[in-house]
Amino acid sequence: MPDTTRSDPATARAERAYLARGRYRFRLACLAFALSFILIGARLVTLGFAGTGPSPGGLYDISSTVHRPDILDRDGRLLATDIKGATLYADPQRVIDVDELAEQVSSAFPDVKARELRARLKAGGRFVRIKRELTPKQQAEIHELGLPGLAFIEEYRRVYPSGATASHVVGLVDVDNKGLAGIEKFIDDNPQLTMAGDEAVTLSLDLGVQHVLREELGRAIATYRAKAAAGMVIDVHSGEVVALVSLPDYDPNRREQALDKDRLNRIGFGVYEMGSVFKVFTVAGVLDLGLASLRSSYDASSPIHYASFTIDDFHGKKRRLSVPEVFIYSSNIGAAKMALDMGVDRHRKFLKKLGLLSQIPTELGDSAAPIVPAHWQKLNTMTIAFGHGLSVTPLQLAAASLPLFNGGVAVNPTFLPRSREEGMEAGPRVLKRDTSVAMLKLMRLNVLKGTAKRAEAEGYRVGGKTGTAEKVVGGRYSTSA
């Protein structure tokens, strides 16, 4: 009879294999359980962090807009700064009832249309911005609604304490706090300024001078019933723009105003024929080239006839005029003959050397391009001599004038601080010093005895040159417009 108390070898091996498979399955089950626990835990942690934002009434302590540096005038007065504000948004994946939320929010904010909000929420995604710049009271009202899926996020909003006063220089930003124009755009285009943190950007502007200039131009518009006016104050040695105003301007706190084409910055982007103001360059040209001196004279007794054109003086003296007389009586005939002495090529090269035939680069961007004759001929030279036939921006006119007043050095305008030494060292010499001295004398003489007598101001040595442009109507210069 067989011994049933002893297992044969095959049975023993089978039992060991069964136990081994059991232990393996147990370990696999433990591993699967552990992995499931880890995944569930990680999801809970994720939801926990996410819940601090989209939970009803939650507030992200972060900003979705860029923090910008303050902008100051030369004396530290605030021109632009950031303030924090709350923005209401929704996480569509956490919204329980889209229709209810849309109706409730639209009821709280009539400018938020329920139909449009409903469509945006149903489009999916995790972030739907609803309304910016909420007041604390409005935030409290949303809190009280207790609607799942609504939350707030902190965003920076740009404000301009001086309003429209320096708008064409400071510029403005869009709703996402990104620079659109002016120094604001310059900051975005220069990462070293954007990354400077809380370090402010200081300008060359003087807010006090800016106010005065703006008020005076406003009075001029009212007095002469003008459509627009523009002016600037610039340091002739450093090139610093101390004030720049172009009216009508806009309030950068109301960015929609900037879209009005009539609010163009005419100093940098308006292109005009400058009229008799251009005679300063004509006189400077013949003096600098050695073609005339202050003792020279030109025959202005009769008009110049060229082809079908006639060049005459508005209040002609009908006699020979000295160089100072050509200047202070603003003789078109004398200026045209000076330009003829220079010749077409030398005249064009002289104006080019002063920067009148190219754009002027500044922190506000390049100025508008001048309108230059396609075929510069003898007649062009004669008419450009007294400011007809070449259109430039007022900024180009100012920049080209600097060498006439500072000793002959070309200095590029800037809206950032620059010392007089830095300005004079950076620019090339484009005129002889004697030419600059002579032009200063002529400008002063013009205020004392010439067409600019009304510019005289007690306590100041004022110099200047008047100019009157003519409008082009129907392709011809108008005598009445």
Q: CA 467, CA 113: separation in Å to the nearest integer? A: 55
Q: Does 276 qualify as catalytic in the annotation? A: yes
- DSSP designation for 377: -
| The two structure tokens encoding residue 420 | 């007089």
Residue 400, classed as helix, strand or coil, is helix
Q: What share of the chain is helix, strand, coil (3-state, %, to 5)?
A: 45, 20, 40
From 106, 204, 246, 276, the catalytic residue: 276
**Angle at which helices 394-406 and 433-449 cross, to 10°:** 110
> Is the distance from CB of 298 to CB of 328 less than 8 angstroms?
no
Q: CA 338, CA 360: separation in Å to the nearest integer? A: 27
Residue of 124, 64, 62, 66 whose CA lies nearest to 91: 124
Residue 269, classed as helix, strand or coil, is helix
Which residue shows structure tokens 């050695």?
290
Strand ranges inside 91-234, DSSP E:
128-134, 150-159, 172-173, 179-181, 201-202, 229-234
Kindly report the number of other CB atoms within 10 A of residue 15's CB atom: 11
| The two structure tokens encoding residue 174 | 């869009």
Residues designated as active site:
276
